[in-house]
Amino acid sequence: MKIGILGLGLIGGSLGFDLRSQGHDVFGVSRRDSTCAKAIALGSVNQASVDISLLAATEIVFICTPLGLIVPQVEQLIQHLDATTIITDVGSIKAPIVRAISPLWNYFVGGHPMAGTADIGIEAAQPNLFVGRPYVLTPIHTTPSAAVAVVEKIVRSLGANIYHCQPEQHDRAVSWISHLPVMVSGSLIAACMSEPDPEVLQLAQKLASTGFQDTSRVGGGNPELGLMMAQYNRSALLNSLQQYRCNLDELIDLIEQENWASLEEKLQLNHQVRPNFLK
């Protein structure tokens, strides 16, 4: 197939490697000439250009830009495409994107590959990035099933595990397991820093070990990512945060009331159910 990739970063570049290795013709578009040159030199794409019209001849386009650019780029892109060209994206939040693009383009299938590394950019791109990783597709009732089938076939060829759900269900699920942890973990760091006795704060910093380090890791991560989660998934995240606050309040009440039997029951339940979230 002739496959377009708009946005040649870690995800777009890695996608290119896998698709080319399967014999597809891969056309890449980036905002920067230097990125286009790198993508060609690395072998991630057959052709690349800063001119979006390069994608006119493709049968399917993967939108791999940062989240905030997906909708504006699609608006530009569709001026160059045949009406049956399939568009799919890799954005980490789905409802606002599906809501914005569906009225503009019938052959659109929302997607979210849950793969990545700590690095970014075409230099970090690698073959087989999606093998064994979840890849969520969020078609809606108006999405042509033929378009979904094409996207599915390509995603399956990447070695990813496909999940289907509504865009809103996706956003709620990732709010629980990805966005809420960032806020919970960040608040832990902020709370510790509020210790008024400098000797105690310094001692806490010296004594902190793997327990604190693991619990605070995502909260101390890239601030732009955390901000993006809150901005684009605001209502699902607020719902998760309110629910989290209720659970925390219950725990505080039990400790205040010295209700040790109920506290132990709660801790026991957390211990029992956590393995359901592990592979």
Question: Is 50 a residue that touches a copy of itself (CB under 8 A)?
Answer: no
Question: Is 218 a residue that touches a copy of itself (CB under 8 A)?
Answer: yes
Question: Is 185 a residue that touches a copy of itself (CB under 8 A)?
Answer: yes
CB atoms within 10 A of CB 5: 30
Angle at 18 between CA 38 and CA 99, to 5 degrees: 90
Q: Which amino acid is at 257?
A: Q
Q: Which stretch binds a copy of itself (CB under 8 A): 50-58, 82-90, 149-157, 209-217?
A: 209-217
Cβ neighbourhood burial of 186 (10 Å; 0-12, 13-18, 19+): middle
Residues with Cβ < 8 Å from 176, sequence gap 6 or more?
Answer: 240
CB closer to a copy of itself out of 12 and 113 = 113
Nearest partner of 12 among 68, 58, 63, judged by Cα: 63
Which positions from 119 through 138 interact with a copy of itself, judged by CB under 8 A? Answer: 134, 136
Residue from 51, 75, 84, 260 touching a copy of itself (CB under 8 A): that is 260
Question: Is 206 a residue that touches a copy of itself (CB under 8 A)?
Answer: yes
Q: How far is CA 106 from CA 8, 30, 61, 84, 140, in A?
A: 25, 24, 14, 8, 10
Residue from 24, 38, 94, 170 touching a copy of itself (CB under 8 A): that is 170
How far apart are the C-alpha atoms of 271 and 53, rounded to whole Å?
54
Residue from 21, 53, 76, 205 touching a copy of itself (CB under 8 A): that is 205
Question: Is 187 a residue that touches a copy of itself (CB under 8 A)?
Answer: yes
Residue from 6, 122, 226, 232 touching a copy of itself (CB under 8 A): that is 226
Question: Is 176 a residue that touches a copy of itself (CB under 8 A)?
Answer: yes
